Amino acid sequence: MCSDKKEECGIFGIYGDPDAVQKTYFGLFSLQHRGQESAGIASCDGQYIQRYTGMGPVRKVFGDGDGILEKLANPMAIGHVRYSTTGASKALNSQPFLSEYSRGQVAVAHNGNLINASLLRDEYEAYGSIFKSTSDTEIIIHLIAKPSHVSKPDPLAHVLNHLQGAYSLLFMFSDRIEAARDPYGVHPLAIGKTPEGAFVIASETCAFDAIGAEFIREVEPGEIITLDKHGMSSRFFVKPGTIKPAYCLFEHIYFAKQNSFFFGENVHEFRKKIGKRLAVEHPVDADLVIPVPDSGTAAAIGYSEQSKLPFDMGLIRSHYVGRTFLAPDQKAREMAVKVKLAVVKEAVKGKRIIVVDDSIVRGTTTRGKMRALREAGAKEIHLRASCPPIKFPFFYGVDFPTKEELIANNRTLDQIRDFLEVDTLGYLSLEGLLECAKCPNDHYCTACWNGKYKIPVDIALNKFAMEHYQMQLFNEPTEYE
Ligand code: SF4
């Protein structure tokens, strides 16, 4: 994966299973690619919700699962892995959030970004509300607790109609779990069922595979799913069909795990398809096709199959170098990058290679990889990106650089090629990308490439205002509540 852009968050929930907490733990493991800054689980025995959260990946927070999981053991649970898009990477922002209001306890886990969060927060603070975190998610709890919202016939549906932006959400009340997906369906959210009959909700279906659950269907945009003692039920907080979806195509290109299935298709198959299309659009005479692992691998396989050129692993990714690796100086940072992505000299030396990457964001990381291949003796380097040039920033829950930092924002193709120090450069066209996708073209968000934001972004800049709430707090110790 390219380190120019970061993953978002992953959520997992299960109702009515004696091993709900253990299954959540393994579900979070399989969603770890979506965030490693913090992890947490909230569980409930039908009366009292408790939670445990901490900084770092699931393994660091929960260890091997002994002890902590036993204390949390309950038949319903929700979990979260975090990459911060709004709100700093601090323990106070780790999820699920847990609060108490007039109707009892509620725990919340969120994937996405609420672009009107800071406006709402200003409003609530003006009336004296006190916030415990700097995350956009906390505003949802204040909305739930507001007396005029509590008295509505369907308080949750009412609250969701106040939110703007991208959100896949899990709520836990003492008697039920509720899942909701924003009306644009920006990020995926799926429903599964264990062989024992317990319902499961997760950001990606790879979490179902991990616990032996079967995929049932995706949560629809604008839908609320309730899991309780009566089983599963559904309702909509936005009339179906009134808003065109804006599925994030980057989920398929980069963020998601290859064995996941959403937006109507499997991620691996989609990446292979765009790799094939890339070979049709940008053929070149060469000896070998190599991927930038991991997210470029399937596209490189597709390119190799289409071009009939051999595939090999010229770059090897180490999964043991943590993303939060703190290198003290530039030299140490360079060594860390080399450890993370190592060149197999014997595979590339003297060869004309086609390198397939999922995308090129700032370009500096990509140039480092190309230099390493050149130093290893590659004779020619033909770089192919399995998505179009990224020209516009993103506001709905992914940490992308600003417009000025994007290499394709103000450079010609030749200038980018020269900057990256490669012999030729080819990007997949937007038409080609959309032709490979299963849903109708206007059901996807393509704003990264053409700037056409389906969710209005005029107030999105307020997300950055959230940082002004950043409190000078030290990382609190991990704790039970
Ligand atoms: S702007 Fe890009 S990253 Fe954001 S939802 Fe659209 S396609 Fe996804």
* pLDDT (mean) for 396-406: 70
* pLDDT (mean) for 458-464: 45
Between the CA of 246 and the centroid of ligand 1 the distance, in Å, is 9
Question: Which of 7, 85, 250 should be mutated for ligand 1, with most atoms under 8 A from CB?
Answer: 250
Q: What is the pLDDT of residue 331?
A: 67
What tens digit of pLDDT does each residue of 195-238 get? Answer: 999 999 999 999 999 999 999 999 999 999 999 999 999 999 99
Which of 453, 446, 455 lies closest to 390 in space, CA to CA? 446
407 CB near ligand 1 (under 6 Å): no
Q: What is the pLDDT of residue 399?
A: 57
Atom of ligand 1 nearest to the CA of 247: 5
pTM: 0.90
Q: Which of 17-31, 53-67, 194-208 has the lowest mean pLDDT?
A: 53-67
Q: Which of 68-72, 282-286, 451-455 has the lowest mean pLDDT?
A: 451-455
Q: What is the pLDDT of residue 152?
A: 96
Query: CA geometry: angle at 213 spanning 212 and 216, to 5°?
Result: 150
* 183 touches 225 (CB < 8 A): no
- Provide the angle, in degrees to the nearest 10, between the axes of the packed helices 330-340 and 364-375: 70
| Residue with CA nearest ligand 1 atom 3 | 250
* 422 touches 383 (CB < 8 A): yes
For residue 339, the 8-state DSSP code is H
Query: CA geometry: angle at 151 spanning 146 and 153, to 5°?
Result: 125
115 CB near ligand 1 (under 6 Å): no
* 455 touches 115 (CB < 8 A): yes
First to last CA, the chain: 35
184 CB near ligand 1 (under 6 Å): no
Q: What is the pLDDT of residue 464?
A: 38
Q: How far is CA 425 from CA 286, 344, 373, 382, in A?
A: 13, 22, 15, 6
> Quick check: is 9 catalytic?
yes
State the greatest distance between any 2 C-alpha atoms of the chain, in Å, as a whole number: 72
- E strand intervals along 91-175: 97-101, 104-114, 165-173
| Residue with CA nearest ligand 1 atom 6 | 445
Average pLDDT in the chain: 89
Centre a 10 Å sphere on the Cβ of residue 239 and count the other Cβ atoms it contains.
9
Which of 433, 423, 394, 468 lies closest to 186 in space, CA to CA? 394
Among residues 2, 9, 248, 448, the one annotated as catalytic is: 9
Tokens of 95: 């999820």
70 pLDDT exceeds 90?
yes
38 pLDDT exceeds 60?
yes
Which residue matches tokens 């937007």? Answer: 430
Which residue matches tokens 């030396």? Answer: 349
- E strand intervals along 10-135: 10-15, 38-44, 49-55, 76-82, 97-101, 104-114
447 CB near ligand 1 (under 6 Å): yes
Atom of ligand 1 nearest to the CA of 400: 3
Percent of the chain with pLDDT over 90: 74
Between the CA of 394 and the centroid of ligand 1 the distance, in Å, is 6
What tens digit of pLDDT does each residue of 317-371 get? Answer: 887 765 444 455 666 666 777 778 899 999 999 999 999 999 998 888 889 899 9
Band (pLDDT 50/70/90 cuts) for residue 403 is confident
* pLDDT (mean) for 135-144: 94
Give the span between the Cα atoms of 308 and 481, in whole angstroms.
58
Nearest-10 Cα torsion for 206, 211, 212, 215: -40
